[in-house]
Structure 1
Amino acid sequence: MSRKVCAQIHLDAVVHNYRLARAQAPGAHAVAIVKADAYGHGAVPVAQALAAEADAFGVACIEEAMALRAAGLGAPIVLLEGFFDADELPIIAREGFWPAVHSLHQLEALEQAQLATPVPVWLKIDTGMHRLGVQPQEVATSVARLQACNAVADVVLMTHFACSDEPDKTMTLDQLACFDQAAGTLGLAASLSNSAAVMAWPRAHRQWLRPGIMLYGATPFEQPNPIADQLQAAMTLSSEVIAVREVPACETVGYGATFRCDRPRRIGTVAMGYADGYPRHARNGTPVVVAGQRAQLAGRVSMDMITVDLTDLPHAGVGSSVELWGRQLPVAEVARWSDTIPYTLLSGLTPRVPRRYD
């Protein structure tokens, strides 16, 4: 019998979530972010499911963009980290990619380039994230240089928020003010909103949204959000119970003996471990769903297996289905128990886990 580990990808949920993002700003366009293999969901199948819906796709680098083109996706593709070397520019022009420009060396490369077709660029402004982007006081000059450049067809302004997933923090307002001052009266289209800003910061919507994690049905927020509550999980990660042990009181389970039985307990072993992408730091008590009912991790996650407490689930046994996250158990809940975020869990799923699509 083959190992019953599977990530079922619900493409109808991805489409629903994209439409939900668009509905927050009906007059705006939306870039479907499919970088990092669509956060572990499979960039090509996800993009194909959105082909009739998405205004553009967003990836980190040209390799990810070329994989979409090879699969026949013809929509515009935004290169969120831009280009790394000038020799990428002819490919970008040929394939119709839209590169971000965040540094002086990129601007200079465009000025020196001789391209058969000019390319639209997205000029990134550093409004406080301090990773990438031109300084606010450099925006007007940078736009003028880009608009004077034969290799450039159009300019969109963009920035990225540091704390938009924390609606109570004022930093997003500070970044918005910084962006608006830098953009001034340039009259250019803009893209500011990641998933959190799509759902919680309508002032940031502008002409182009950039929904990412919300496409996959995971909330970026720690607290409830009325829009995030409408998301549908796009991945169900599942396995089966492969063994059951009756463990006496005071005995321990798993590496490090981190779980001690306070009474006789029935422990199930599940084919799923950190080599599959399940978080090693998931604590005792992390929820799972066994045969439709909630159970808890009992013992440290190992490379290929986890152990769960089946004491109160007498109907569960070898062959019982186990949902690690998905439609019955939000991935964000598992992430909280693991001291991490849903992005890490979804994008960290390893190739050992087969993806199946419905």
Structure 2
Amino acid sequence: MTETAVAIIRPQALANNLRRIRSATAGCRIMAVIKANAYGHGLERIARLLDDVDALAVAGVCEGIRLRDAGIRQRIVVLEGCSEADELNAAIAHQLEIVVHDQSHFELLDGAIEQEMLDVWIKIDTGMGRLGFDPADLSDVRKRIEGISCVRPIPRVMTHLASADDPDNPLTLEQVRRFGDAIGHFTGDVSIANSAGALLWPQTLEPSLSLDYKGENWVRPGLALFGASPVTGKSAREMGLEPVMSFESRLIAVKTIKRGTGVGYGSAWRARRDTVVGVAAVGYGDGYPRHLQSGTPVMVNDRRAALIGRVSMDLINIDLTDVPVAAVGDRVVLWGGHLPIEEIAARAGTIPYELMCRLSQRVGYRFEAVDSAGPEEQSLGVS
């Protein structure tokens, strides 16, 4: 049985986006960020498709363990670090690298069961105001880390860019300066650039007078891998990216209503003419935003049509009057392909990240074969 709401995942697009990132970051290492179920694309399957990147990054230890249980052997970095002893010991047992960003981590590390040596990244806060040590404290933090017996003595330092998506915001270069001041003449690996940093800010990618290091530079692409633009005012197409996901459903009813007839809960939309209405089997129960307004575009048989009436849990209504041919069973694209997710996110007052990540458990997944022989269907979260 086929789900009516499905996410079509295109490995070829993922490969193209990775090539685009590599071309922009020549000489850098790639740490592919696949947290939040690979931005809603399916954690284990996406990890297998990214088997040639240098490392993977996830939010928490549980995601890292899922990848190890799925047979993923690449380096895996846990971006949120660990907050409990059991969590830390599990990270060590599964050979996960953790980010150290808070004083509380020192006590955890001191008490760790020394099963194996642990690789860590030190995070400093250069302007995000979120996780990370004060840059002025980096020297003391490094000394403290070096004194912990279970930590491998290989220095690695990272930060996170707060406004790299805005090409006119001076904060990014200020963060690079603060990072460079903190590390000084540093011998070790660094990581600064997210998706926007990798594609827009070459100053984050190589040594300079203000960024003096001898080691590897690791970029951490996330959103760009999945084909959404990480840059304000630039489309994915303009950035050379292709959407990996297409969120789709199908028509389960088509009928004609008279002028003046209300559609949906509250009759929030009324026909101004005799109207052909299509009903598609998708709603907020699948992750399609409930507050999208009438007029939001969908694609039916490769033509734009408009959402009408309120989004309900399982169904939406579509004005098909100007679609020449539409019938029960026809494909409806909610976003993806020629309907950019950025456009739908803007209509919903949110960002592409949220739309990708909010797809519910009842949405089916189909991974297109790399050789284009046809899609392979699977349910959400199944490896």
Which range, TM-score by smaller chain?
Answer: over 0.9
1:3–1:271: 8 Å Cα contact kept in structure 2?
no
Match of 1:262 in 2: 272
1:164–1:196: 8 Å Cα contact kept in structure 2?
yes
Does structure 1 residue 182 correspond to structure 2 residue 177?
A: no
TM-score by length of 1: 0.95
Matched residue of 2:119: which SS? strand
- Output one character per residue of 1:150-203: Cα deviation in whole Å (capped at 9) or x when no partner: 222122111111211111222222222221211222333211111111111111
Structure 2 distance, partners of 1:46, 1:108, is 35
Structure 1 distance, partners of 2:2, 2:108, is 52
Work out which of the residue numbers 228, 234, 239 in structure 2 matches 1:224. Answer: 234
1:18–1:32: 8 Å Cα contact kept in structure 2?
no
Structure 2 distance, partners of 1:40, 1:182, is 35
Match of 2:27 in 1: 27
CA shift, 1:225, in A, is 5.8
Structure 2 distance, partners of 1:334, 1:132, is 30
Structure 2 distance, partners of 1:199, 1:327, is 22
The equivalences for 1:242-253 within 5 A come to 242-253=252-263
- Output one character per residue of 1:15-61: Cα deviation in whole Å (capped at 9) or x when no partner: 2212221221111101111111101111100011111x110110011
Structure 2 distance, partners of 1:168, 1:265, is 46
State the one-letter code of the partner of 1:54: V
Percent of matched pairs sharing the same residue: 40
Does structure 1 residue 120 correspond to structure 2 residue 119?
A: yes
Match of 2:220 in 1: 210
Q: Which runs of 4+ in 1 moved over 6 A?
A: none
Matched residue of 1:132: which SS? coil
The equivalences for 1:61-210 within 5 A come to 61-153=60-152, 154-206=154-206, 207-210=217-220
Does structure 1 residue 350 correspond to structure 2 residue 350?
A: no
- Residue segments in structure 2 that go unaligned for 5+ positions in a row: 207-216, 369-383
2:236–2:242: 8 Å Cα contact kept in structure 1?
no
CA shift, 1:253, in A, is 1.6
Match of 2:41 in 1: 41
Structure 1 distance, partners of 2:12, 2:240, is 14
State the one-letter code of the partner of 1:90: N
Match of 2:4 in 1: 4
Match of 1:13 in 2: 13
**Structure 1 289/178 Cα, relative in aligned 2: closer, same or farther at 3 Å?**
same
**Structure 1 105/83 Cα, relative in aligned 2: closer, same or farther at 3 Å?**
same
2:227–2:236: 8 Å Cα contact kept in structure 1?
no
2:173–2:203: 8 Å Cα contact kept in structure 1?
no
Does structure 1 residue 294 correspond to structure 2 residue 293?
A: no
CA shift, 1:114, in A, is 4.5
State the one-letter code of the partner of 2:345: A
Structure 2 distance, partners of 1:284, 1:57, is 40
**Structure 1 260/288 Cα, relative in aligned 2: closer, same or farther at 3 Å?**
same
Structure 2 distance, partners of 1:171, 1:255, is 46
Structure 1 distance, partners of 2:262, 2:10, is 38
Matched residue of 1:93: which SS? helix
Q: 28-37 or 249-258, which moves further after superposition? A: 249-258
2:229–2:236: 8 Å Cα contact kept in structure 1?
no
**Structure 1 191/145 Cα, relative in aligned 2: closer, same or farther at 3 Å?**
same
Q: 113-122 or 61-70, which moves further after superposition? A: 113-122
- Alpha-carbon RMSD across the aligned residues, in angstroms, is 1.7
1:129–1:162: 8 Å Cα contact kept in structure 2?
yes
CA shift, 1:321, in A, is 1.0
Structure 1 distance, partners of 2:158, 2:53, is 19
Match of 1:326 in 2: 336
- Output one character per residue of 1:194-214: Cα deviation in whole Å (capped at 9) or x when no partner: 111111111112500001011
CA shift, 1:122, in A, is 0.9
Match of 1:308 in 2: 318
Matched residue of 2:44: which SS? helix
Structure 2 distance, partners of 1:2, 1:93, is 41
CA shift, 1:316, in A, is 1.2
